[in-house]
Structure 1
Amino acid sequence: MYIYLDDSGVINAQGGKFYVWAGFSIKSGYKKLAQLLDPVFAEIKAEQLVHNLKILEAKGNIATHEQRKKVFEVLANWDDLRICYIAVDKSLLNDSHRVFNRDWSGRHREQTENYFIGKVVSRLAEPIPNDTSKSIILTIDGQPKRASESTIRLHEYLSLRINYPKWKKDDYWNNFNIKYDQQLNHSLLQAADFIASFTNEYYAYMEYTSKRDSKKIVSYYELWDILNPKIYHKIIELKNTSKL
């Protein structure tokens, strides 16, 4: 199994209303999926460069409706692809989530990020029917704060989350590989970015906009209609309600 993850929003920054981790898993064929996504992102990058000469790759947070639609349609047409996300209203986070001791070299912040990553990965890691592989390769967009130490800590945490629940007796993963990747124009990670940024924008708009534009809402719903058949699990934590 292959899993690709990205986040949207900065957990300890003042700006932004939501913090999101999102991603997708596929049983196999990641090279073929990348080949389908590559020309789509190349086209989107060319379109975005017209308005912003500084961008180095296509970005989900400035994507238009049509650009998002092209990416989501490729994902929706991949048979065994599964999407999961967690969207958390940042007003619900307490100081232990937002405030970090500089002397800890990011340990505290990383611990919180890993907690949210674990919620997404544990759902995506549920076995795909007819998948006989016992391996997961998890690729995360970005760079760990403390290099290999961060990767080891996340590996240990996710291994416990995935393999050792008391109720889980039949399924396990004996090869779990975590990779952080900062490579530009990595189409699979760009796809995760598009999902995460769209999810963040949608919930922020719906929760914090008092006068909503009907055309914008129709646009959001059209994109959700494309993604929804592939959404395997979602966790939503809002000010007034939580939905698992």
Structure 2
Amino acid sequence: MTALAALLTRDIRIALRAGGGALIGVLFFLIVVVLTPFAIGPEPALLVRVAPVTLWIGALLANLLSLDSLFATDREDGSLDLILMARSPLELTVAAKAAAQWLTTGLPLVVASPFLGMLLNLEPSESLAVTLTLAVGTPALTFTGVIGAALTVSLRRGGLLLAVLALPLTVPVLIFGVAASSAAITGAETFGASFTILCALTVMSFVAGPLAAAAALRLEME
């Protein structure tokens, strides 16, 4: 636990020192939400129906924006080689980097989502319900996305390929995140089942994401 805390603290400092990630993600999230009424019309009932989809897709795309540099920066300055040769398990390092990534870019999206939900005509309680699903599901988006970041670390312009690789992996999280959000807004009894599956997917991503990303990094750097 001490090693994990040290790695997490280091990666958070690096992410904050780089700057811009959280602000760019939130601005992109805001743009997606603001453009939605212009695209489908300002009808309140329709905005409420599409609000869960809009917020989840906006959070997913904003999350992908910052994943491109997750390992690329370490590769450029040579620290990725040191990480691969370190005594600490590579999976632990990847998990720490993913956690730091979510804290610096994903968490601001969760904090902003209640206010953005109100722009889509959601009641405060409905916005908070959607925020709860995002708080549970966005870590899964990050821990799943690290697999794509690891697979494209050796490519100079791997951002588009990263999105192509990561998006299919995030589809289950997106489906059950939207389902839980919609059920929370409508008061449907399916909320509990969808939310439970979303929690299970997040827990699975905590294990599978670092394992798969670490294996991909070893293959990429051979």
Same fold (TM over 0.5): no
More strand by share: 1
More helix by share: 2
Q: Report which structure shows greater RCO (CA 8 Å, sep ≥6).
A: 1
